[in-house]
Copies of this chain bind each other. A is one copy, B any other.
Protein backbone atom coordinates (compact mmCIF):
# COMPACT_ATOMS: atom_id res chain seq x y z
CA UNK A 1 0.00 0.00 0.00
CA UNK A 2 1.41 3.37 -0.99
CA UNK A 3 2.53 5.67 1.78
CA UNK A 4 0.55 8.57 3.09
CA UNK A 5 2.06 11.85 1.93
CA UNK A 6 2.90 14.84 4.08
CA UNK A 7 -0.17 16.57 2.76
CA UNK A 8 -2.17 13.51 3.77
CA UNK A 9 -0.86 13.69 7.32
CA UNK A 10 -1.49 17.42 7.47
CA UNK A 11 -5.10 16.81 6.46
CA UNK A 12 -5.40 13.92 8.89
CA UNK A 13 -4.07 16.07 11.71
CA UNK A 14 -6.50 18.90 11.08
CA UNK A 15 -9.44 16.51 10.78
CA UNK A 16 -8.25 14.84 13.97
CA UNK A 17 -8.68 18.18 15.75
CA UNK A 18 -12.17 18.64 14.40
CA UNK A 19 -14.27 17.45 11.44
CA UNK A 20 -13.75 19.61 8.38
CA UNK A 21 -14.68 19.87 4.74
CA UNK A 22 -12.21 20.13 1.88
CA UNK A 23 -13.04 23.77 1.58
CA UNK A 24 -12.32 24.39 5.26
CA UNK A 25 -8.98 22.65 4.90
CA UNK A 26 -8.05 24.75 1.90
CA UNK A 27 -8.79 27.88 3.90
CA UNK A 28 -6.55 26.68 6.72
CA UNK A 29 -3.64 26.21 4.34
CA UNK A 30 -4.27 29.52 2.66
CA UNK A 31 -4.63 31.59 5.80
CA UNK A 32 -2.50 30.18 8.60
CA UNK A 33 1.19 29.59 9.17
CA UNK A 34 0.70 26.22 7.46
CA UNK A 35 1.29 27.94 4.17
CA UNK A 36 3.80 25.34 3.03
CA UNK A 37 0.98 23.08 1.92
CA UNK A 38 -0.88 23.63 -1.29
CA UNK A 39 -4.42 24.87 -1.03
CA UNK A 40 -5.16 23.85 -4.61
CA UNK A 41 -8.29 21.74 -5.06
CA UNK A 42 -6.40 19.44 -7.39
CA UNK A 43 -4.20 18.42 -4.47
CA UNK A 44 -6.62 18.42 -1.57
CA UNK A 45 -9.70 16.67 -2.91
CA UNK A 46 -7.81 13.69 -4.35
CA UNK A 47 -5.79 13.44 -1.13
CA UNK A 48 -8.99 13.39 0.93
CA UNK A 49 -10.46 10.69 -1.30
CA UNK A 50 -7.34 8.60 -0.87
CA UNK A 51 -7.61 8.89 2.90
CA UNK A 52 -11.29 7.96 2.67
CA UNK A 53 -10.53 4.97 0.42
CA UNK A 54 -8.20 3.63 3.13
CA UNK A 55 -10.81 4.14 5.77
CA UNK A 56 -8.80 6.75 7.66
CA UNK A 57 -11.49 9.41 7.32
CA UNK A 58 -15.18 9.25 6.56
CA UNK A 59 -17.03 11.90 4.59
CA UNK A 60 -20.66 12.81 5.19
CA UNK A 61 -22.72 15.27 3.20
CA UNK A 62 -23.97 18.06 5.39
CA UNK A 63 -26.32 20.87 4.52
CA UNK A 64 -25.26 23.98 6.39
CA UNK A 65 -27.98 26.58 6.26
CA UNK A 66 -28.34 28.17 2.89
CA UNK A 67 -24.97 27.32 1.36
CA UNK A 68 -24.02 24.48 -0.87
CA UNK A 69 -23.93 21.05 0.71
CA UNK A 70 -20.49 20.30 2.03
CA UNK A 71 -18.76 16.99 2.51
CA UNK A 72 -17.51 17.03 6.08
CA UNK A 73 -14.75 14.57 6.90
CA UNK A 74 -14.39 12.92 10.29
CA UNK A 75 -11.46 10.84 11.43
CA UNK A 76 -12.01 7.12 12.01
CA UNK A 77 -10.34 4.96 14.68
CA UNK A 78 -7.97 3.63 12.00
CA UNK A 79 -7.20 7.17 10.96
CA UNK A 80 -6.52 8.22 14.50
CA UNK A 81 -4.19 5.25 14.96
CA UNK A 82 -2.30 6.01 11.73
CA UNK A 83 -1.97 9.63 12.73
CA UNK A 84 -0.61 8.83 16.17
CA UNK A 85 1.82 6.30 14.83
CA UNK A 86 3.10 8.97 12.42
CA UNK A 87 3.56 11.38 15.30
CA UNK A 88 5.45 8.78 17.27
CA UNK A 89 7.88 7.95 14.46
CA UNK A 90 11.57 8.65 15.01
CA UNK A 91 13.25 11.90 14.03
CA UNK A 92 15.67 10.87 11.33
CA UNK A 93 18.66 12.52 9.69
CA UNK A 94 16.87 12.98 6.34
CA UNK A 95 13.96 14.61 8.21
CA UNK A 96 16.34 17.11 9.75
CA UNK A 97 18.24 17.66 6.51
CA UNK A 98 15.37 18.34 4.19
CA UNK A 99 12.07 18.37 5.99
CA UNK A 100 12.37 20.42 9.16
CA UNK A 101 9.09 22.10 8.27
CA UNK A 102 7.36 18.77 8.23
CA UNK A 103 8.87 17.93 11.61
CA UNK A 104 7.49 21.15 13.03
CA UNK A 105 4.08 20.34 11.62
CA UNK A 106 4.25 17.01 13.40
CA UNK A 107 5.22 18.74 16.59
CA UNK A 108 2.44 21.31 16.29
CA UNK A 109 -0.12 18.52 16.43
CA UNK A 110 1.61 16.64 19.19
CA UNK A 111 0.23 18.08 22.42
CA UNK A 112 -3.35 17.32 21.61
CA UNK A 113 -2.76 13.84 20.29
CA UNK A 114 0.03 12.51 22.49
CA UNK A 115 0.14 14.82 25.48
CA UNK A 116 3.08 16.52 27.12
CA UNK A 117 5.18 13.37 27.44
CA UNK A 118 5.02 12.73 23.69
CA UNK A 119 5.99 16.30 22.90
CA UNK A 120 8.98 16.15 25.20
CA UNK A 121 10.11 12.82 23.77
CA UNK A 122 9.94 14.34 20.30
CA UNK A 123 11.90 17.43 21.35
CA UNK A 124 14.69 15.36 22.86
CA UNK A 125 15.07 13.33 19.68
CA UNK A 126 14.88 16.47 17.60
CA UNK A 127 17.58 18.17 19.66
CA UNK A 128 19.87 15.14 19.51
CA UNK A 129 19.56 14.76 15.76
CA UNK A 130 20.05 18.48 15.11
CA UNK A 131 23.05 18.53 17.38
CA UNK A 132 24.73 15.75 15.48
CA UNK A 133 23.88 17.28 12.13
CA UNK A 134 25.41 20.60 13.18
CA UNK A 135 28.64 18.74 13.92
CA UNK A 136 28.55 17.25 10.47
CA UNK A 137 28.02 20.63 8.85
CA UNK A 138 30.86 22.17 10.86
CA UNK A 139 33.13 19.37 9.84
CA UNK A 140 32.14 19.77 6.20
CA UNK A 141 32.89 23.46 6.43
CA UNK A 142 36.22 22.80 8.07
CA UNK A 143 37.28 20.53 5.23
CA UNK A 144 35.92 22.55 2.32
CA UNK A 145 35.99 26.14 3.51
CA UNK A 146 39.07 27.03 1.50
CA UNK A 147 37.81 25.67 -1.78
CA UNK A 148 34.43 27.35 -1.48
CA UNK A 149 33.41 30.76 -2.81
CA UNK A 150 32.40 33.26 -0.14
CA UNK A 151 28.69 32.88 -0.86
CA UNK A 152 28.95 29.11 -0.68
CA UNK A 153 30.64 29.27 2.69
CA UNK A 154 28.14 31.82 3.96
CA UNK A 155 25.24 29.65 2.78
CA UNK A 156 26.51 26.73 4.82
CA UNK A 157 27.04 29.03 7.79
CA UNK A 158 23.45 30.17 7.45
CA UNK A 159 22.40 26.55 7.75
CA UNK A 160 24.55 26.06 10.83
CA UNK A 161 23.11 29.16 12.49
CA UNK A 162 19.60 28.11 11.61
CA UNK A 163 20.06 24.67 13.14
CA UNK A 164 21.71 26.20 16.16
CA UNK A 165 18.71 28.41 16.72
CA UNK A 166 16.43 25.41 16.36
CA UNK A 167 18.50 23.49 18.86
CA UNK A 168 18.17 26.30 21.39
CA UNK A 169 14.47 26.44 20.70
CA UNK A 170 14.09 22.72 21.33
CA UNK A 171 15.96 22.94 24.63
CA UNK A 172 14.00 25.91 25.87
CA UNK A 173 10.78 24.22 24.78
CA UNK A 174 11.61 21.16 26.85
CA UNK A 175 12.11 23.54 29.75
CA UNK A 176 8.66 25.02 29.12
CA UNK A 177 7.05 21.60 29.45
CA UNK A 178 9.05 20.75 32.55
CA UNK A 179 8.14 24.03 34.23
CA UNK A 180 4.53 23.35 33.43
CA UNK A 181 4.77 19.88 34.88
CA UNK A 182 6.14 21.22 38.17
CA UNK A 183 3.43 23.84 38.34
CA UNK A 184 0.67 21.32 37.83
CA UNK A 185 1.84 19.22 40.74
Given A107-B151, A108-B152, A151-B110, A159 and B98 contact (CB-CB distance below 8 Å): no
- Asked if A36 is at the interface (CB within 8 A of a chain B CB), the reply is yes
Number of copies: 2
- A162 pairs with B155, CB closer than 8 A: no
- Asked if A60 is at the interface (CB within 8 A of a chain B CB), the reply is no
- Annotate A128-149 by CB proximity to B: 1 below 8 A, 0 otherwise: 0000000001001000100001
- B154 pairs with A165, CB closer than 8 A: no
- B98 pairs with A154, CB closer than 8 A: no
Which residues of B sit under 8 angstroms from A161, Cβ to Cβ?
165-166, 168-169
Interface bin, chain A? 35 or more
| A residues adjacent to B (C-beta < 8 A) | 32-33, 35-36, 97-98, 101, 104-105, 107-112, 119, 137, 140, 144, 149-152, 154-159, 161-162, 164-166, 168-170, 173, 176-177, 180
